[in-house]
Structure 1
Amino acid sequence: MKEITEKPSSDINLRIARRVAGLRAEREMSLEALATRCNVSRSMISLIERGESSPTAVVLEKLAKGLGVTLASLFEDPREDASPLARRSEQLEWKDPQSGYLRRNVSPPHFRSPIQIVEVVFPPGASVAYEAGTRDTDIQQQIWMLEGSMEITIGGQQCSLHEGDCLAMREDQAVQYQNTTGKAARYVVVINSDF
């Protein structure tokens, strides 16, 4: 299996910090308003915005829902002058400090598009659960299993994904990802949203 290589987490935490603070400012939301909307403490959001915290995937997903964006969009700020080409060396990587899963934003950074592609390597025995929630826009995604297998539970319905399988879903239900095997799973997530 091809491994995703890790980059220093401090750079990624600073990118996330700038993006969360920028999105909150664009929406003219106070720390308190965002905390209430996404059920993350005001102090945690403040730490994240200062780049002093390594937030988990669950916390980032709550912030994304509270800000009305996808989790993948918390890593990059779209710009009009962005290149449509993403070289492998430019693709941002991030490791969830809780589960250890490693994600790589494959899509060109900063390029404005309703489609985002993310590659994930999910460690053996790892599990991540996201709460149900709604955003101001409809977000759909498809998960294409490249290697290994995963158990994905969407709104109480369990799906077993094996190499080559593809699952389509909407991001408006509780979702749990589990790798119950002794081998890392690698999959691609294609996200479609209109922001």
Structure 2
Amino acid sequence: MKEINQKPLQDINMRIANRISALRSERDMSLENLASRCNVSRSMISLIERGESSPTAVVLEKLAKGLGVTLASLFEDPRDDASPLVKRSEQLQWTDPQSGYLRRNLSPPHFRSPIQMVEVIFPPGATVAYEAGHRDKGIQQQIWMMEGSMEITVAQQRHVLEQGDCLAMREDQAVMFQNTTALPAHYLVVINSDF
């Protein structure tokens, strides 16, 4: 399995900070409005928007739902003049400070598309649980296991994915990712927000 090189954490935190702030501004939402929509405190959102906090994947997913976007969207900034190509060295990487899982956004970060691809390396023994939540737009995703295995529970239905297996699901359901093995799990997530 190839290791994913990490870019400086501060750059990633500032990109996330700027993106959340911009999305909130585009939607004319106050900190209080977003806090009530996503069940994250106003002070935590403020710290994240100033780049003073390294939010967990769970907090970012709550913010994404509150803003009506995918988690992957918090790492990009679509523009009309964007290139459809992103080189591997330019792909944004982020590590969840709580579980240690590493995600790499494979899709061109500024190119407008309803499809996003994310590569994940999920460490042994790690667990991440996302709450169910409604978005204004339906989002579908598929997870293809490249190496290792994972247990993924979707709306209380447990699935064990081994190398080569693929799981399709909607993002409006509670989902728990668990790696109960002694080896990292390496998988690809394909997200379609055109529903």
TM band (smaller chain): over 0.9
- Could you say which residue in structure 2 is the equivalent of 1:40? 40
Q: Say whether 1:9 aligns with 2:9.
A: yes
- Could you say which residue in structure 1 is the equivalent of 2:114? 114
Q: Secondary structure at the match of 1:53?
A: coil
- Could you say which residue in structure 2 is the equivalent of 1:147? 147
Normalised by the length of structure 1, the TM-score is: 0.99
- Could you say which residue in structure 2 is the equivalent of 1:94? 94
CA distance in 1, matches of 2:76, 2:31: 21
Normalised by the length of structure 2, the TM-score is: 0.99
- Could you say which residue in structure 2 is the equivalent of 1:57? 57
Which letter does structure 1 place at the counterpart of 2:123? P
Shift of residue 109, structure 1, vs aligned partner:
1.3
- Post-superposition Cα deviations, 1:93-120, rounded to whole Å, max 9, x if no partner, equal 0000000000000001110000000000
CA distance in 2, matches of 1:183, 1:59: 26
CA distance in 2, matches of 1:70, 1:160: 24
CA distance in 2, matches of 1:184, 1:190: 19
- Could you say which residue in structure 1 is the equivalent of 2:185? 185
Q: Secondary structure at the match of 1:44?
A: helix
Q: Secondary structure at the match of 1:21?
A: helix
Which letter does structure 2 place at the counterpart of 1:182? A
- Post-superposition Cα deviations, 1:119-170, rounded to whole Å, max 9, x if no partner, equal 0000000000000001000000000000000000000000000000000000
RMSD between aligned residues: 0.8
- The residue correspondences of 1:170-181 to structure 2 (distance < 5 A) are 170-181=170-181
Gaps of 5+ in 1: none
CA distance in 1, matches of 2:133, 2:27: 19
Identity of aligned residues (%): 79
Shift of residue 6, structure 1, vs aligned partner:
1.2
CA distance in 2, matches of 1:73, 1:101: 18
CA distance in 2, matches of 1:61, 1:174: 11
Extract structure 1 runs of 4+ deviating beyond 6 A: none
Which letter does structure 2 place at the counterpart of 1:70? T
- The residue correspondences of 1:64-75 to structure 2 (distance < 5 A) are 64-75=64-75
CA distance in 2, matches of 1:3, 1:146: 14
CA distance in 1, matches of 2:3, 2:19: 27
- Could you say which residue in structure 1 is the equivalent of 2:83? 83
Which letter does structure 2 place at the counterpart of 1:181? T
Shift of residue 7, structure 1, vs aligned partner:
1.1
Q: Secondary structure at the match of 1:43?
A: helix
Count of residue correspondences: 195
CA distance in 2, matches of 1:72, 1:180: 25
Shift of residue 194, structure 1, vs aligned partner:
2.9
Which letter does structure 1 place at the counterpart of 2:90? E
CA distance in 2, matches of 1:17, 1:172: 24
Which letter does structure 2 place at the counterpart of 1:164? G
Q: Secondary structure at the match of 1:109?
A: coil
Q: Secondary structure at the match of 1:160?
A: strand
